[in-house]
Structure 1
Amino acid sequence: MPNKRAAMKDLRQSKKRQARNIKMQTHVKHSYKDIQTLLRMGKTGEATQALLAFQKTADKAARGKSVHRNKANRMKSRLMKRLAGA
């Protein structure tokens, strides 16, 4: 446990940031898996709509540094390739 007031505040901020990052990361992962499921089921129309929403969330997560920008771009690219092949 920190002793100084500044260190206590820093700990509080770190916990808030960690919770925010984890929430954003799980949201990105779930969206990614949902699109993969839609593609497996052959629902390309719904997958296209979900992909547009996923791009927005992935970019937002990358902007907030919850997810690395290269990872977000890689995930978007893979989904777009699978959608184009479907």
Structure 2
Amino acid sequence: MPIKKSAIKALRQTKTRTLRNLKVKRNVKDLVKQSNKLIEAKEATAVEKVKVAIKSIDKAVQKKILKKNTGARKKSRLMKKLNKVAK
């Protein structure tokens, strides 16, 4: 356990940020899963769900919760699946 006041505060901040980041990552993961499910079922609402998922991925990348390449890869895979079904 930290002894200095600043170290205690830093630990507290780290815990808070970690929880916030995990919540965002969980949200991205859930949206990607839902999008994939709709794409596989060939639902009409898949396009809107993919847009929402891409938006949340972009926000996570912008806040540096996800790395840039990870975000790009996730978006690319989603769009690839969506375009495959659209043809």
TM-score of the aligned structures, taking structure 1 as reference length: 0.94
Separation in 1, partners of 2:2, 2:26: 30
Q: What is the Cα deviation at residue 35 of structure 1?
A: 0.5
SS for the counterpart of 1:78 is: helix
Aligned to 1:58: 57
Aligned to 1:76: 75
Q: What is the Cα deviation at residue 31 of structure 1?
A: 0.5
Q: What is the Cα deviation at residue 22 of structure 1?
A: 0.4
Deviating beyond 4 angstroms after TM superposition, the runs of 4 or more aligned structure 1 residues are none
Unaligned stretches of 5+ residues in structure 1: none
Separation in 2, partners of 1:71, 1:53: 17
Unaligned stretches of 5+ residues in structure 2: none
Separation in 1, partners of 2:30, 2:68: 18
Which deviations, in whole Å up to 9, do the C-alpha atoms of 1:20-79 show, x marking residues without a partner?
Answer: 110011101110000010011111x21100111111100111111111111111111111
Q: Percent identity?
A: 38
Separation in 1, partners of 2:53, 2:62: 14
SS for the counterpart of 2:65 is: coil
Q: What CA RMSD, in Å, does the superposition of the two structures yield over aligned residues?
A: 0.8
Amino acid at match of 2:31: S
